[in-house]
Structure 1
Amino acid sequence: MWAVASSRQEAAEDRLRTTARALALAVDRDFGGIVGALSAFATSPALGQDPLHPRDPVALHAQAMRIGQQYAATVAVLAPDGEQVLSSLRPLGIPMARATSSAAVQKALASGQPAVGDLVIGSLSGRPVVSVALPLMDEAGRVAGVTVAAISARRIRDLLVRQTLPQGAFTAATDSRAVLVARSDAEHDRLIGQRAPSENVRQFIGREGGFYRGVSLDGREHVFGFAAVPAAEGWTIFVGEPAAHFDAAWRGPLLVLLGSSAVALLLGGLAATLAARRILRPVQHLSHHAQALATAGAKVMAANIPPASVAELEVLRLGFAEAEAAVGASAGALRCLNEELETRVRQEVAAREEAQGQLAHAQRMEALGQLAGGIAHDFNNVIQAVGGGAKLIEGSADNPARVRRIAAMVREASGRGAAVTRRLLAFSRRADLRAEPLDGQDLLVGMQEVLSHTLGGGIRVEVEVEAGLPPPLADRGQLETVLVNLAANARDALEGQGTITLSATAALVAGENVGVPPQLRPGAYVCLSVRDAGVGMSPEVLARATEPFFTTKPKGKGTGLGLAMARGFAEQSGGALAVESEVGSGTSVSLWLPVADEEPQATGHQAADGATDASHRHGRLLLVDDETVVRDITAEGLRAAGFTVRAVDGAGEALAALEAGDEVDLLVSDLSMPEVDGLTLIQEAQRRRPGLPAILLTGYATDAAELAMGGALSGTFSLLRKPIDARALSDRVAVLLEARQADRKVRNVVPE
């Protein structure tokens, strides 16, 4: 009953925390949109190189007015001393008073980063407002001023009001001083600007999220779920529900269970009394039977024992007479029991192997979840860079140098997005170990890039790789999963602040070596280590650290599977795991992996190095892709490489062109398209034109495309992963066309 009541209460608490997190993200996205608008404003050509002396004040003032209308805000440009250079509330040329420096402006000037301030009363509007400030840089990269958007507190309230809540519940937002900025109910206008009660502030100040019970500003007892707003330092979003409604959600089921349990106990007691009376008499008879068996013998007892009224006791009475015969048959029963036991052992072993596979998959998913925040951060940066760069290129058509520079930055950002995708695919695989030779330097540098965005801003990741390191033999995806989990443990030990070192050294094991796991066989190994200077482990904890489900973390913060799975991976790979730790001195976890007999295969596009020079390329290509932007950009890249390209948006138009007799030297098709996919299109095209070379482009995150290839296609064929740049695609096209020409020459040779 207590477990049921606790689960109901925990579910209700989790509902409040989840709602608060969702609202915090909504407010965070709104602030992010304002920062994005200010960023576009700060990079406007009308601003020029000197923010305090705009190049085109009229155009800049018009842009500030548009941003102000979009976000119901006042947009201004301020000098460091508070002088107003421009304001959307004042026409150009009208002198403006020096503005009071808000917390957001001070943060932006000091840090050089966007900042969200606290609730203040606007000097011009006289209404409660919140300032979002973005620093403006001069040519030397110094902060020359700030652009500020003062948004009304009503905008925050409108975001909170959209959330559907139970009767009597409300949502609220406080700034870094714990002052109420907005509240979703009718108390907003009366309570705005008041500081939260001090006993409540102690519950949520400085925390990312949680749950507590307290008295709200309106004097009523509520339960609160809260979450911090990521983009606004010190801001907190609350979801409050009346304590009476909250308690009713779990007390009702508890009372029902108590009542039903009392009834069941009463009925059970009555039934037990009746059953006891029915059983007691035959038991007394059996007691007399035992005494007579000891004195007068079984023959006397057989005539004197009355039948038992309980079937089980009657069986027991007859069993006395059959005991001797049963002893003779016991040997056969033991054999049957042994066979049954062996069957159960086999079933348990199979179940354990299946459970281990599920645990391995669960561990991979846990590692993927830890990467989610960092991956989202990376993709947001890529989207910001590409979108902002494209807009800047649109406005810089008369400046080729600037266009080339911005285009290079956009290309670099898209490359970062492709790298994140490749690493995400490696973590999402679910398969048995596929060992391959690995480049230790490349592996750890790649992990450094991923972990730097995953573990938090307070963690620095360093890499130390021994010169001339031989390649280790392991499954890359599984190894990266293990390294992510070990790094996450190190971050927790450092409490989010410190340095984690990833190192790789070569070692030769021969006999008994000091500091080498005893289970390692003699041979050459690569030792990959994850070190931290955190709290460390006591000898008692260290002795159990690799046991499955053993963890010292609070409930819900860890599964206890990280080191256990790391040890299983190392041993399955032919190596071992070693853990060294001391309280106050940190922890070092080492993975010993065997050295591969072969060198790791080179990456990149080396296969296309021998492709024809772009100036000599020619050929007629048929490009099929249902995405207009992707199709047009791909076609332009191929045309720039010297090819003649006809681009169509679907398989129907492509097959119609082939039926009409259009000259096509090579087919390039996307895999995922409506109605007819790229794989089917290539099959139909090669059926109509045998030997037609084809390239299939896919951005799928699974191996479905490769699995579908087996026996499905004929002729020259190549599979490429998206994203791929125009040069690499052009090189692959040139290689396939050259191969086709060479094949035609061989078949056209007439034997003498």
Structure 2
Amino acid sequence: MERLPAVLKGKMGWTIIDGSVRPLRAPKLSNLLIGLVAVALVPAVLAGGTAVWSVAESRQQVAEARLRTTAQALALAVDREFGGIEGALSAFATSPALGDDPLRPCDLPALHAQAVRIAQQYGATIAILAPDGEQVFSSLRPLGVPMARAASSAAVERAFASGEAAVGDLVIGSLSEKPVVSVALPLKDEEGQVTGVAVAAIGAERVRGLLARQALSEGAIASAADARTVLVASTQAEIDRFVGQPLPAQNRHYFVGRDSSSYRAVSLDGVERVFGFATVPAAKGWTVFVGEPAALYDVAWRKPLLALLVGSGAALLLGGLAAVLTARRILLPVQQLSRHAHALAAGSATAAAADLPPARVEELEILRRGFAEAEAAVRAGDAALRRLNEELETRVRQEVVARQKVQAQLAHGQRMEALGQLAGGIAHDFNNVLQAVGGGAKLIEDAGDNSARVRRIAAMVREAAGRGAAVTRRLLAFSRRADLRAEPLDADDLLRGMQEVLTHTLGGGIRVEVDVEVRLPPLLADKGQLETVLVNLAANARDAMGGQGTITFSAVAALVSGEDGNAPAQVAPGAYIRLSVHDAGAGMSPEVLARASEPFFTTKPRGKGTGLGLAMARGFAEQSGGAFALESELGRGTTVSLWLPISEEETSAAGLPALSQPAPAEGRRGRLLLVDDEAIVREITAEGLRAAGFVVRVVAEAAEALDLLAGAEEVDLLISDLSMPGMDGLALIQNAQRLRPDLPAILLTGYATDAAELALGGALSGTFSLLRKPVDAKILADRVAVLLEAREASSTSL
């Protein structure tokens, strides 16, 4: 070895250390090839993993959406059932056999026969209860048999207290000793006072039957729970035996206070399931659940996931094996050269040289070609992997598209089924309303000489019409298209009522105080929406004080002028009531105060708040014609103020300037053009306006109205229905105001459409107003007077 020239040693990659020859330290070629294979396979592994995850997530979303949609369809079925029972009780309450006094029926045999028919139709027990709980009448008792005192239920208590129909919770019937659910309808006298309650008690098996009608997937169950989260019924016997027991406490936070969603939990029978749920609008607090065993739910997406994993793994294994075989072909000539180099270093070059082919340059060329072939093979393997990845992505996309198509078809079918159920329920509800209205009209016709009875029956007919309007409001609530229904409200009565309710709901550590200015005029707002806003503000105040402290509700009158610096910048000049909610909590920093009313902004922990409470309060105040103000300082608490307009009917009595006062009925004058394609609606509306002192010309279509306006017909104001054949009411008013630019107009509509929403914007101009049907004749006459007065004032100023 000592005879090797130093130059040769350096070129061969050897060095002399301490008199011995050793190879230079460098990475092994085999390790470099393994790294090359790994780098080639990593992108394919990542792409395959992403595709597998996408398919699994898509299948989970499809399954959860199917559960939610089925639960919503069942909730509509239960809602329709309760609505039908309420309508049947309404028809029962207007029966001639009931007489003038609901607690002393005048024709017991006829009343009993009618009650038995309703009971057979709905599988229910029909009864009439007095305020003291005494049973005045029952469909289960033969005539002449004494009545037993019935146990009071939550539905009966709410009906007596609120004067409105109510659906109760699950109880054990006092007569049947079986689980029942009560639907209660208040019975009122001529003055509108509740004198009794008509009750329909349906068995839990009725609810179970409703749930069982829905076609469910294999292994799925459907259940219903009342407002106390007590199980009412279930389609599975293993769970139905728990009827009357509360649902697991650890599951309630998933669905309490939410309209519809899905979650995974252990049910009463100890089986883990995935649930979809939806609330029942007609029964406050009721929830319908549809659940599938978690094992079956997981199989739906794990099976294709496993197939994709196996396919991807096989492709990666084959690619790796091909790469390893190619690498071995590369290593063989290199190992031969390495052995020859070792032989030279060990001084046995002669023996080693004998093992080599005679042509060394040719061997190096073979090595070069081997590297070239290896590179080509690696590229071919990489191209094959890319093609495999592209094919895999294509298959995933095709699978997702196919699943989405199936999901869309399923959703369409379920929507059509739900629409069919909803249409049947609407027809049923309105048939009951028409039965009450038609029957009442016939009774009024037959009792023309009994004014007291005519007034009582007329009140029932009016109430039945109100129930029809309630059906439409319920539909609008389902579609989220309901608008605000403003009415005069006494601030003191409103806040005192809120104090009584909140004292029992905010917790023992919270004290609620009310401070209302003396002789405060009524404000104008939607009562239900305002109460919801005040409850949300009180809940925020409680959370800000950690459940301990005093919340103060206050109300004062405020007159805003153009230079008033204490009012919000966006509030217009006029007379207002300022409602305030004050807490003694920690307050807000300037940074938080600046963003507090932004939608979805919240400082509460995840799951404790949505960040919509203050944003909804701001939107309600501004939509009501007022404004919203927020004051807070660290360590000094927070005050939220709602500036709401004073009712126009009361501004003069309060000593405040009237924003717009209609003229008295006897002094009203004006020539009105009324357009409506419904003859009955057209004539009744015209009679109401004529009774208010106006001269009314009626036509049935928009074209005829435009011909009159194009001529010399004297018209002071145009009133038109929105939905008419040919030209609708909105287009009519637009064309009419082109012919007569100063002509004020009122648009009447019985449902919410895009055209009606566009009309709302024109209502702010002062010459174009929109009213929702059914509209009271007095309200319509007052609106006409306001527009005519505004037109006259504008003409005078010019």
Of 710, 714, 719, the residue aligned with 1:668 is 719
Structure with greater contact order relative to length (CA < 8 Å, sep ≥ 6): 2
Match of 1:62? 113
Amino acid at match of 2:156: A
Instruction: Return the alpha-carbon distance in structure 1 between the equivalents of residues 132 and 195 of structure 2.
Output: 10
Of 108, 111, 120, the residue aligned with 2:156 is 108
Instruction: Return the alpha-carbon distance in structure 1 between the equivalents of residues 278 and 616 of structure 2.
Output: 32
Match of 2:294? 243
Identify if the C-alpha distance between structure 1 residues 563 and 385 changes in structure 2 by more than 3 Å, giving closer, same or farther. same
**Pairs within 5 Å for 1:427-466:** 458=505, 464=515
**Pairs within 5 Å for 1:43-62:** 46-47=97-98, 53-62=104-113
Of 606, 610, 613, the residue aligned with 1:554 is 606
Instruction: Return the alpha-carbon distance in structure 2 between the equivalents of residues 524 and 743 of structure 1.
Output: 31
Shift of 1:168: 2.7
Amino acid at match of 1:654: A
Shift of 1:709: 11
Identify if the C-alpha distance between structure 1 residues 685 and 463 changes in structure 2 by more than 3 Å, giving closer, same or farther. same
Instruction: Return the alpha-carbon distance in structure 1 between the equivalents of residues 181 and 69 of structure 2.
Output: 27
Instruction: Return the alpha-carbon distance in structure 2 between the equivalents of residues 199 and 442 of structure 1.
Output: 39
Shift of 1:215: 6.6
Instruction: Return the alpha-carbon distance in structure 1 between the equivalents of residues 505 and 688 of structure 2.
Output: 42
Identify if the C-alpha distance between structure 1 residues 725 and 607 changes in structure 2 by more than 3 Å, giving closer, same or farther. farther
Provide the secondary structure at the position in 2 that maps to 1:55: coil
Shift of 1:160: 1.2
Match of 1:719? 768
Match of 2:632? 578
Q: CA RMSD in A?
A: 7.0
Size of the alignment, in residue pairs? 568
**Pairs within 5 Å for 1:689-700:** 693=743, 695-697=745-747
Unaligned runs of 5+ in 2: 1-48, 257-261, 331-429, 483-487, 521-529, 559-563, 569-577, 622-626, 652-657, 750-754
Match of 2:701? 650
Contact 1:17 1:211 in 2 (8 A): no
Match of 1:30? 81
Contact 1:24 1:228 in 2 (8 A): yes
Identify if the C-alpha distance between structure 1 residues 164 and 487 changes in structure 2 by more than 3 Å, giving closer, same or farther. farther
Identify if the C-alpha distance between structure 1 residues 462 and 27 changes in structure 2 by more than 3 Å, giving closer, same or farther. farther
Identify if the C-alpha distance between structure 1 residues 249 and 445 changes in structure 2 by more than 3 Å, giving closer, same or farther. farther
Provide the secondary structure at the position in 1 that maps to 2:690: helix
Provide the secondary structure at the position in 1 that maps to 2:581: strand
Identify if the C-alpha distance between structure 1 residues 91 and 59 changes in structure 2 by more than 3 Å, giving closer, same or farther. same
Instruction: Return the alpha-carbon distance in structure 1 between the equivalents of residues 459 and 133 of structure 2.
Output: 36
Instruction: Return the alpha-carbon distance in structure 2 between the equivalents of residues 82 and 159 of structure 1.
Output: 30
Identify if the C-alpha distance between structure 1 residues 657 and 212 changes in structure 2 by more than 3 Å, giving closer, same or farther. same
Instruction: Return the alpha-carbon distance in structure 2 between the equivalents of residues 566 and 662 of structure 1.
Output: 47
**Pairs within 5 Å for 1:280-429:** 394=441, 395=443, 398=448, 400=451
Provide the secondary structure at the position in 1 that maps to 2:113: helix
Shift of 1:148: 4.1
Shift of 1:157: 3.1
Shift of 1:651: 0.9
Of 165, 174, 177, the residue aligned with 2:216 is 165
Amino acid at match of 1:651: A
Instruction: Return the alpha-carbon distance in structure 2 between the equivalents of residues 744 and 231 of structure 1.
Output: 50
Identity %: 49
Instruction: Return the alpha-carbon distance in structure 1 between the equivalents of residues 489 and 129 of structure 2.
Output: 47
Instruction: Return the alpha-carbon distance in structure 1 between the equivalents of residues 503 and 700 of structure 2.
Output: 43
Amino acid at match of 2:632: A
Provide the secondary structure at the position in 1 that maps to 2:219: coil
Amino acid at match of 2:676: D
Instruction: Return the alpha-carbon distance in structure 2 between the equivalents of residues 695 and 410 of structure 1.
Output: 30
Match of 1:195? 242
Shift of 1:735: 8.5
Instruction: Return the alpha-carbon distance in structure 2 between the equivalents of residues 485 and 84 of structure 1.
Output: 40
Identify if the C-alpha distance between structure 1 residues 13 and 449 changes in structure 2 by more than 3 Å, giving closer, same or farther. farther
Instruction: Return the alpha-carbon distance in structure 1 between the equivalents of residues 266 and 778 of structure 2.
Output: 63
Match of 2:233? 181
Match of 1:634? 685
Provide the secondary structure at the position in 2 that maps to 1:675: coil
Amino acid at match of 2:184: L
Contact 1:109 1:135 in 2 (8 A): no
Contact 2:131 2:160 in 1 (8 A): no
Instruction: Return the alpha-carbon distance in structure 2 between the equivalents of residues 735 and 538 of structure 1.
Output: 44
Shift of 1:247: 0.9
Identify if the C-alpha distance between structure 1 residues 484 and 701 changes in structure 2 by more than 3 Å, giving closer, same or farther. farther
Provide the secondary structure at the position in 2 that maps to 1:163: coil
Contact 1:42 1:147 in 2 (8 A): yes
Instruction: Return the alpha-carbon distance in structure 2 between the equivalents of residues 89 and 500 of structure 1.
Output: 50
Provide the secondary structure at the position in 2 that maps to 1:722: strand
Identify if the C-alpha distance between structure 1 residues 237 and 588 changes in structure 2 by more than 3 Å, giving closer, same or farther. same
Mark the structure with the bigger radius of gyration. Answer: 2
Deviation digits for residues 335-370 of structure 1 (CA, Å, limit 9, x no counterpart): xxxxxxxxxxxxxxxxxxxxxxxxxxxxxxxxxxxx
Contact 1:28 1:229 in 2 (8 A): yes
Contact 1:678 1:696 in 2 (8 A): no
Contact 1:545 1:563 in 2 (8 A): no
Identify if the C-alpha distance between structure 1 residues 653 and 488 changes in structure 2 by more than 3 Å, giving closer, same or farther. farther
Match of 1:589? 638
Deviation digits for residues 164-204 of structure 1 (CA, Å, limit 9, x no counterpart): 42233221346779566352xxx66xx69622698974555
Provide the secondary structure at the position in 2 that maps to 1:590: strand
Instruction: Return the alpha-carbon distance in structure 1 between the equivalents of residues 122 and 732 of structure 2.
Output: 48
Instruction: Return the alpha-carbon distance in structure 2 between the equivalents of residues 718 and 451 of structure 1.
Output: 38
Amino acid at match of 1:132: S
Unaligned runs of 5+ in 1: 278-382, 430-440, 470-478, 508-521, 582-586, 711-716, 746-752
Provide the secondary structure at the position in 1 that maps to 2:767: strand
Instruction: Return the alpha-carbon distance in structure 2 between the equivalents of residues 506 and 709 of structure 1.
Output: 24
Contact 1:133 1:146 in 2 (8 A): no
Instruction: Return the alpha-carbon distance in structure 1 between the equivalents of residues 433 and 541 of structure 2.
Output: 34
Shift of 1:640: 1.1
Instruction: Return the alpha-carbon distance in structure 1 between the equivalents of residues 669 and 633 of structure 2.
Output: 60
Instruction: Return the alpha-carbon distance in structure 2 between the equivalents of residues 542 and 116 of structure 1.
Output: 43
Match of 1:327? none
Deviation digits for residues 542-585 of structure 1 (CA, Å, limit 9, x no counterpart): 89995985543434x54457679999999xx999752546xxxx
Provide the secondary structure at the position in 2 that maps to 1:645: strand
1:132 counterpart = 2:182: yes
Instruction: Return the alpha-carbon distance in structure 1 between the equivalents of residues 634 and 298 of structure 2.
Output: 48
Match of 2:728? 677
Deviation digits for residues 75-105 of structure 1 (CA, Å, limit 9, x no counterpart): 2446899986544356534x36x6695x665
Shift of 1:635: 0.7
